[in-house]
Every structure is written in structure tokens, then in C-alpha cells.
Amino acid sequence: MLDADFFRRWMAATAASVEHEAERLTALDSPIGDADHGSNLQRGFRAVATVLEKDEPGTPGAVLTLAGRQLISTVGGASGPLYGTLLRRTGKALGDAAEVDEQEFAQALRTGVDAVMQLGGAAPGDKTMIDALLPAVDALGQSFAAARSAAEEGAQATTPLQARKGRASYLGERSIGHQDPGATSSAILIAALAETAGE
């Protein structure tokens, strides 16, 4: 069973990974975006780590809802609302349970991913974070490690795609040949989840 401490550790692991990968994310964002994806997420997840240390929410749902709210209020651009919505809607779907099992979490995360798709209007193959998140959610029923592999493969598979949503879509065919930064940061989020689960 997964308790509030597990989800706090997931957010702390994500913050550490984003810190480590911020330069790479910004380098990926440079040719097809605003060259600020890494620094924006770095600021956001630092704020998440700080607020979770201070407030210590007592349920899995409360941890993710608070993390999502914090991202929305501290991250500029599109990534704040998108990641904030992902975590907040996942948290709300988990409700007030003190512990959740892996299946309940997988269902809640799917609710969060659906909310992101609705907010951004993105579908699989549009070269966005959805290309990493959807395969991860599909694989989460097997294991956290399977979700990590699926997210990583999904992120890498965005390289040959032409962007149809977000800032990169303005570039048309020039967006081809670049790995999507949002899909890459989503894979980092899922990798931190697998690491927290010890997989």
C-alpha cells in the first residue's frame, strides 16, 4: 500500500531529478521552445519540496493536490498549469484515503492525464508530455519499472514527430528531429516514481 510518506518521497525524488536534469531540459527546449523548461520546473519542484516539508499533508491525495497547487502558482508558461493539473486531479481522484493500492493510484493518475489532455487539447502523437504519460499509465498496471520504461520510450519516440500542439507547433517541420522537452520531463517524473518504489 502507498501512504502519504510514499508520495512525499516521490515529489522529493522528482525535485532532485529535475535539479539534476534542468540543463538538459532547457537544452531540449532551446531549439523548439522558450529555452526555459528546465529552469521553470526547477523553480516549481523546489517550491513543492519546500511546502511539503513544511505542511506535511497526511494523505496521498492531499500530498498531490498541494503539490499541484504549488506548481500552478510558481511555474510560468504552460508547464505549471499542465503539471499542476496532472498532480491536482490525480490527488483529487485519490480522495481522502490514508493509503491507496497501486491499482487505485494507476486509475487516479489516468484521471490526471485525461485532465491534462483536456486542458492542452493534446492527443498521442502530438509531440507533447502526453506521449510519455499515456504509455506510462498503461504500463503502471504491470509495475512501476514498466511505467518508467514506457515513459522513456515514449519521450524518445517524440524525436521524429512534427509538433502539433504547444510552442513547438509554430515551427512546423522544423520541430522534427528534436526530442520533446515536456515528454522528457514527464519521463523524469515517472522515473522518480519507480525509484521511490524501489524498482
pLDDT given at position 171: 87
pLDDT given at position 144: 98
| Segments of the chain with pLDDT less than 70 | none
pTM of the model: 0.96
Burial bucket for residue 118 (CB in 10 Å: 0-12, 13-18, 19+): exposed
pLDDT given at position 166: 85
